[in-house]
Structure 1
Amino acid sequence: MNDVKLMEILEDLPVGLHIEVPGLVYQLHIPEVTAFKSDRVPNPYANMMGIAKIPDADFESVLEAVFSAYAGAPFGWFVGPLAEPRDLPQRLEERAFLLAERVLGMVLEDLTVPIPENDEVVIRQIQPEEVPDYADGLAKAYGMGISTDALNVVALGSRGDLFIVQPKGSDEVIGFSRLAYVTPDVVLLGGSAVSEGWRGRGIYKTLVAARLRLARQAGAKAALVQAVEDTSAPICRRMGFREVAEYGFYLGNAVFEGMDS
Structure 2
Amino acid sequence: MNFIGIANYKKMFRDDYFYKTLYNTAYLMLGIPIGLMLSFLLASALSRKIKGTTIFRTIYYIPVISSLAAISILWQWAYNGDFGLVNQVLAIFGIDGPNWLQNAATVKPAIIIMTVWKGLGYSMLLYLAAIQSVPKDYYEAAELDGASSIQKFKNITWPMVRPITFFLIVTNIIGGSQIFTEINIMTPNGGPKYSSATVVWYIWQKAFKNWQMGYASSMAVILAVIVFVVTALQFYMDRRSSYKID
TM-score range, shorter chain: under 0.3
User: Could you say which structure has the higher strand fraction?
Assistant: 1
TM-score by structure 1 length?
0.22
Q: Name whichever structure is richer in helix by fraction.
A: 2
